[in-house]
């Protein structure tokens, strides 16, 4: 193992969405991530979230399976779980039990609604969490229903990244206290926190609750996507006056638009006018015009086009392993670079090896096997 997180040991309870991605990011940067999975199964090269992880297949419906899980947790710095509130407690793996075995454990909990509150026990998904926070109401066209921004806003930005932020903060605090703690990472909290700038603008009267009427929601003609002659698209976003001046010059827009760039009264008509201009050339023709400029124009690429773009290719942003194209570890470090990710291993392949490292002898392993605790 190498990378800036070398020496960090994490146990991840198998789940879906933001928690597995958090475990992947930690493994990408060199942490030893042990996945507790429900059953052994063949390796799957498309299961990117399991890359770099070791795993143990345990039957947590048996006392012996819980015993084995606790043996792994007792040696960990961090435990990640993404179940509904109370599930870990009912299994016998709640924070009190785990931290009695391991007082320094950071017990990181990932949910949509949070560990408490009237909706805590309800099912939900990214679109619901964004809906509750006001985020979703701001996305999409003014004359249509709100458009979900994939599952990035709550699952991954408000979920995964805040879970990781909480873990790192708790590990930092542990250096002085010597104690672990519970991290309650809720997607509704994280997605809301991401909108600090928008809430500032609302307080100043600079943001309307009408979709497609604001600076960053497609309302401004200079911060918007446009269709080109070939049916492909451009992203246009020169917010600053000096960058907007570049757009005006290179796209052949009226020079007097520079003086009234921020006059929102002009925006509806200019959106239509700019759309006509950009529809006159193909996407590649426009990119040849804007190449090397500060006009803040970039092509809108498909999933298959993105890895082939010269900039992303030069940086090695994507790589292919086992026939699967995926993103490389991020961010990057100069002294302790992340290890190149390998193929995702077979879940459960290291069950007995991991338990042996955790202190289980041959007799204990035989007892666990006999009890059906190892799957």
Model pLDDT for residues 260-271, shown as the tens digit of each residue? 999 999 999 999
pLDDT band at residue 88 using 50, 70 and 90 as cut-offs: very high
Q: Are 13 and 121 found together in one domain? A: yes
User: Per-residue pLDDT tens for 120-131?
Assistant: 999 999 999 999
pLDDT at residue 1 greater than cutoff 80:
no
Q: Flag whether 150 is in a domain.
A: yes
User: Per-residue pLDDT tens for 272-312?
Assistant: 999 999 999 999 999 999 999 999 999 999 999 999 999 99
Q: Exactly one of 28, 47, 126, 155 is catalytic; which is it? A: 155
Given 308, 333, 361, the domain boundary residue is: 308
Q: DSSP letter string over 141-178?
A: -TTS-----TTIIIIIIIIIHHHHHHHHHHHHHHHHH-
Q: Are 168 and 248 found together in one domain? A: no
User: Please, what is the average pLDDT of the chain?
Assistant: 97
Half-sphere exposure of 169 (CA within 13 A, CB side): 12
Q: Are 126 and 248 found together in one domain? A: no
Q: Are 154 and 47 found together in one domain? A: yes
pTM: 0.95
Distance CA 240, CA 106 (A): 43
Given 286, 308, 330, the domain boundary residue is: 308
pLDDT at residue 232 greater than cutoff 90:
yes
Distance CA 121, CA 136 (A): 22
**Residue percentage of the chain with pLDDT more than 70:** 100
Q: What are phi and psi of 9, to 5 degrees?
A: -115, 125
Q: For the domain that residue 182 is a member of, what is the CATH number?
A: 3.40.50.10540
Q: Is 13 left (phi over 0), alpha (psi -120 to 50) or beta?
A: beta
pLDDT band at residue 48 using 50, 70 and 90 as cut-offs: very high
Half-sphere exposure of 317 (CA within 13 A, CB side): 12
Q: Are 104 and 232 found together in one domain? A: no
The reply to whether 311 belongs to the active site is: no
Contact present, 264 and 213 (Cβ < 8 Å):
yes
Domain that holds residue 43: 9-194+318-370
Average pLDDT over residues 31-46: 96
Q: How many domains does one find in the chain?
A: 2
Q: Flag whether 58 is in a domain.
A: yes
Q: Are 342 and 301 found together in one domain? A: no
Average pLDDT over residues 134-144: 95
Q: Are 303 and 331 found together in one domain? A: no
pLDDT at residue 373 greater than cutoff 90:
yes
Q: Are 48 and 119 found together in one domain? A: yes
pLDDT band at residue 214 using 50, 70 and 90 as cut-offs: very high
Distance of CA 332 to the CA centre of its chain: 17
Distance CA 232, CA 128 (A): 31
Q: Flag whether 210 is in a domain.
A: no
Given 277, 308, 339, the domain boundary residue is: 308
Q: Flag whether 85 is in a domain.
A: yes
Q: Are 20 and 99 found together in one domain? A: yes
pLDDT at residue 141 greater than cutoff 70:
yes
Q: Exactly one of 44, 125, 184, 294 is catalytic; which is it? A: 125
pLDDT of res. 65: 97
Q: Are 129 and 51 found together in one domain? A: yes
pLDDT at residue 78 greater than cutoff 80:
yes
pLDDT at residue 356 greater than cutoff 80:
yes
Q: Are 70 and 181 found together in one domain? A: yes
The reply to whether 155 belongs to the active site is: yes
Collapsing DSSP to helix, strand or coil, 311 comes out as helix
pLDDT at residue 320 greater than cutoff 90:
yes
pLDDT of res. 2: 85
Q: Flag whether 347 is in a domain.
A: yes
**288 or 339: which leads in pLDDT:** 288
Q: Are 164 and 185 found together in one domain? A: yes
């Amino acid at each position: 193992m190498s990378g800036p997180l070398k020496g960090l040991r994490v146990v991840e309870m198998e789940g879906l969405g933001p928690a597995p991605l958090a475990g992947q990011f930690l493994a990408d940067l060199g942490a030893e991530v042990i996945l507790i999975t429900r059953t052994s199964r063949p390796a799957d090269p498309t299961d990117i979230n399991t890359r770099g992880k070791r795993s143990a297949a345990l039957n947590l419906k048996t006392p012996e399976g819980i015993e084995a899980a606790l043996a792994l947790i007792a040696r960990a710095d961090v435990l990640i779980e993404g179940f509904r509130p109370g599930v870990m407690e009912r299994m016998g793996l709640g924070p009190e039990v785990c931290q009695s075995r391991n007082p320094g454990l950071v017990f990181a909990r990932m949910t949509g609604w949070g560990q408490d509150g009237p909706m805590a026990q309800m099912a939900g998904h990214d679109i619901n969490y964004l809906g509750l926070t006001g985020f979703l109401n701001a996305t999409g066209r003014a004359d249509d229903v709100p458009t979900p921004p994939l599952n990035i806003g709550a699952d991954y930005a408000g979920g995964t990244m805040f879970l990781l932020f909480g873990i790192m903060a708790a590990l930092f605090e542990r250096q002085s206290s010597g104690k672990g703690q519970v991290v309650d990472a809720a997607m509704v909290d994280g997605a809301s926190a991401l909108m600090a700038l928008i809430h500032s603008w609302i307080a100043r009267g600079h943001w309307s609750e009408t979709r497609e009427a604001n600076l960053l929601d497609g309302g401004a003609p200079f911060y918007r996507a446009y269709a080109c002659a070939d049916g492909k698209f451009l992203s246009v976003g020169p917010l600053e006056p000096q960058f907007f001046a570049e757009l005006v010059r290179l796209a052949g827009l009226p020079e007097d638009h520079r003086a009234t760039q921020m006059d929102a009264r002009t925006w509806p008509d200019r959106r239509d006018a700019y759309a006509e201009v950009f529809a006159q050339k193909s996407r590649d023709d426009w990119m040849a015009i804007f190449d090397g400029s500060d006009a803040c124009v970039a092509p809108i690429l498909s999933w298959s086009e993105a890895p082939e773009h010269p900039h992303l290719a030069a940086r090695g942003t994507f790589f292919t392993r086992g026939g699967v194209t995926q993103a490389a570890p991020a961010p990057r470090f100069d002294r302790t670079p992340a290890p190149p990710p390998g193929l995702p291993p077979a879940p459960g392949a290291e069950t007995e090896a991991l338990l042996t490292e955790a202190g289980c002898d041959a007799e204990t392993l035989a007892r666990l096997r006999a009890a059906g605790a190892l799957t």
